[in-house]
Amino acid sequence: MKTILKIIVVLLLFSFSIDKTIVTATIYHADPSQCNADFLTTASMKKIDSLSPEKHRWIAVSRDLEKLGFVFGTKVKVSNAGAMNGVWTVEDRMSKRWNKRIDFLVNKKKKYGKWTEVELKIIK
C-alpha cells in the first residue's frame, strides 16, 4: 500500500511539473533596433499595430520553449509577472541566445520590465 501511495505522489508531482513552465520574462518593442528589418511583422507573419502593439497581447518565446508546445498561435496563461499577468498568445520567436525566456510585446511608453520565476501554462 505504501508503494502505491508513493507512486501516486510521484505521478502527481510529475504531472504538475509538466503542467507549468518557469521562465524569465522581459519586454520588447516593435522597433528595428530590437527586431529585424520587417519589425512590424512577427515570426508567425502576423502584422503588428504600430500605434498599439500591446493590445495584441503577443509574446515571443525562446526556441527551447517551442519543443515544450509553446508554438505560434498557442494561448498561454502567464502568472507571477505583475501587471503582465493574464492570457497571451505566442506569435514571435526570440534570438537563439535565449533559453527559458519570453518577451512581452508592449507599447514604447513602457520602458523597462523584467520578471523572474514567471509561470507559463498552456491553455487547452
- Structural domain contains residue 108: yes
Residue 8: its pLDDT value, please?
54
- Structural domain contains residue 11: no
pTM of the model: 0.82
Asked if the model's pLDDT at residue 20 lies above 80, the reply is yes
Residue whose C-alpha cell is 509538466 = 18
DSSP-assigned letter for residue 83: G
Domain of 33, CATH number, reads 2.40.40.10
Residue 111: its pLDDT value, please?
86
Domain of residue 76 covers 21-122
- Structural domain contains residue 71: yes
- Structural domain contains residue 3: no
Asked if the model's pLDDT at residue 15 lies above 50, the reply is no
- Structural domain contains residue 15: no
More confident residue, 50 or 89: 89
Q: Count structural domains, the chain.
A: 1
- Structural domain contains residue 72: yes
- Structural domain contains residue 6: no
Q: Which of 62, 59, 51, 48 is nearest to 86 (CA)?
A: 59
* Mean pLDDT across the chain: 88
Query: Rounded to an integer, what distance in angstroms lies between the CA atom of residue 73 and that of residue 75?
Result: 6
- Structural domain contains residue 63: yes
Read off the pLDDT of residues 24-47 as tens digits, 9 standing for 90 and up.
Answer: 999 999 887 777 777 899 999 999
Residue 3: its pLDDT value, please?
63
